[in-house]
Amino acid sequence: MEIIGGNRALRGEIRVPGDKSISHRSIILGSIAEGRTEIYNFLNSEDTIATIDCFRKMGVSIEVEDDKVVVEGRGLKGLNSPGSILACKNSGTTMRLMSGILVGQDFSTTLVGDDSLNNRPMNRIITPLRKMGGNIEGLDNEYPPLKISPVQKLNSIYYEMPVASAQVKSAILLASLFADGKTIVKEKALSRDHTERMLKTFGVDIYKSNELIYLNPPSELRGRNLYIPGDFSSASFFIVAALILEGSQIVIKDVGLNETRIGLIDILKKMGGNIEISNVNTLNNEPVGDILVKYSKLKGIDIKGDEIGTFIDEVPILAVASAFAEGITAIRNASELKYKESDRIKVMTNEMRKMGVAIEELKDGMIIQGNSSLKSAKLESHNDHRIAMALSIAALKANGTSYLSNHECINISFPTFFDILLENIV
């Protein structure tokens, strides 16, 4: 796809589709609840459809009409054997969270991914789920396919997480719904807490105290209606675009503002970004509000520490913002980026270099020299949706027309990305 650079600006009021993490969780919890769950502003994308297809294969009736989804829950133990493999496609969230549910079922399942997911680490969930008594095996104890077989019972655990990962935390919490007592999870660092919030919304006794998360297994979850906020990770591409494109001003309406997700706002504000939040409400236990962003002169920043978990998916677009900041930006403690849909450290380093950015790859991050003037280039998404979108925004600032191959992977999380961009770019 061609992307024309030059003197462009972003102006207008936009909405981004529903949050991907919350959309996955709404299908998972709706499927194991008693009764009907109606979901509004659902993200209809390849990743969330993978989750829907898996639960449909296990006998759950799920009707999708645009962004409204109706799930007829089958209860904690009411899923059927899928009969054949469950295809998680490109979605780590689908595979890791669903494993937590499947170790508690009375039938065997095999979970497979696409080429990217089949190379992502699974030992991080295999270890705690086995500690709970689950029967789960991976290739070399590490990679998909995952084979899960029924067990007599699951036991509760106290687990100190060795990695900061919401998917691992969620797999344990979901398995603990089927365990014989109170499970306690200690997080290594703060990670997104949508599972905890939604379990509470479905009536589960779950609470946090002094860095520990406690869950008492329920006898049932009750179906309910959910409204999904706009995806902050999708909004982040437009936030950065507005900051770096001179003359820009945009408002993004009804975006999820959960503090475990919006670390990028703090970072960009420290870099000098003009960002204002307003109209904050709480919907189904999740904060939602509007974000106003104006073009700003940014300055480089040194980023390290545990809070990286609150903007891990936004590092590719943060790297783009850094290329236009005055001075040097260093991003460290981000080694988790190597285990995403692509090695996002290596890929961003190589692709931004093609545009002339002075950028150095570190083992756990990157160092970016700012004030760059970008040249147009032949860019490659590596079939990673967040790389495709980050590079598209960077290409808008280049001195000519860039070419991005394999841009279709944006359908994984944000199928309307280019439509919204084209409607609001001047």
Ligand X SMILES: C=C(OP(=O)(O)O)C(=O)O
Residues lying near ligand S3P in the complex (CB under 6 A) are found at 21, 93, 165-167, 170, 192, 312-313, 336
State CA 310 to chain mean position distance. 11
Nearer to ligand S3P, 17 or 300 (CB): 17
| The entry of ligand X, ligand S3P, none that residue 413 binds, CB within 5 to 8 Å by partner kind | ligand X
Q: Is 353 annotated as a binding residue?
A: no
Shortest distance, CB of residue 415 to ligand S3P, whole angstroms? 16
How far is residue 62's CA from residue 185's CA, in Å, rounded to a whole number?
31
93 binds ligand X (CB under 6 A): yes
User: Candidates 88-96, 151-159, 211-219, 345-353 — which segment interacts with ligand X by CB under 6 A?
Assistant: 88-96
CA distance 198 to 132: 22
Both structure tokens of 246: 């001179």
> Which H helix or E strand runs over 207?
strand 205-209
Backbone conformation region of residue 83, classed left if phi is above 0, alpha if psi is from -120 to 50, else beta: left
Closer of 177 and 410 to ligand X (Cβ): 410
Contact residue for ligand X among 5, 17, 30, 92 (CB under 6 A):
92
Q: Which of 19, 254, 313, 384 is catalytic?
A: 313
* Nearer to ligand X (CB atom), residue 91 or residue 392: 91
Q: Cα separation of 335 and 337, whole Å?
A: 5
The annotation status of 25 as a binding-site residue, yes or no, is yes
User: What's the closest the beta carbon of residue 101 comes to ligand S3P, in angstroms?
Assistant: 14
CB of 151 to ligand S3P, least distance (A): 25
Judge whether 356 and 331 are in contact, CB under 8 Å.
Answer: no
Residue 381 is a binding residue for ligand X (CB under 6 A): no
300 and 324 Cβ atoms separated by less than 8 Å:
no
> Does residue 413 bind ligand X (CB under 6 A)?
yes
Is residue 165 a known part of a binding site?
yes
Secondary structure of residue 313 in the 3-state scheme = helix
* Integer Cα distance of 285 and 426 in angstroms: 37
Please identify which residue in 89, 197, 340, 407 interacts with ligand X, judged by CB under 6 A: 340
Count CB neighbours of 317 within 10 A: 27
Is the separation of the CB atoms in 256 and 171 below 8 Å? no
| Smallest distance, ligand X to C-beta of residue 357, A | 22
**Binding ligand X by CB under 6 A: which of 91, 195, 258, 381?**
91
- Structure tokens, 365: 């991050």
Q: Which of residues 259-318 bind ligand X (CB under 6 A)?
A: 313
Question: Any known ligand binding at 236?
Answer: no
Name beta bridge partners: 385: none
- Measured between its terminal Cα atoms, the distance across the chain in Å is 19
The verdict on 236 binding ligand X (CB under 6 A) reads no
Token couple for 263: 């670390």
Residue 336's binding partner among ligand X, ligand S3P, none (Cβ under 5 to 8 angstroms by kind) is ligand S3P
The DSSP bridge partners found for residue 70 are 38, 63
Is 140 part of the annotated catalytic residue set? no
Q: Is 186 annotated as a binding residue?
A: no
Instruction: Let me know the angle formed at the C-alpha of 422 by 2 and 383, rounded to the nearest 5 degrees.
Output: 50
The verdict on whether residue 344 carries a ligand-binding annotation is: yes
192 binds, among ligand X, ligand S3P, none (CB under 5 to 8 A by kind): ligand S3P
Q: Is 144 in the site for ligand X (CB under 6 A)?
A: no
Residue placing its CB nearer to ligand S3P in the complex, 129 or 396:
129
Alpha carbon of 298 to those of 55, 91, 190, 318: distances in Å?
A: 45, 34, 27, 12
- Residues serving a catalytic function are 313
Q: Which residues bind ligand X (CB under 6 A)?
A: 47, 91-93, 313, 340-341, 386, 413
Could you tell me which residues are annotated as the binding site for phosphoenolpyruvate? 20, 92, 120, 167, 344, 386
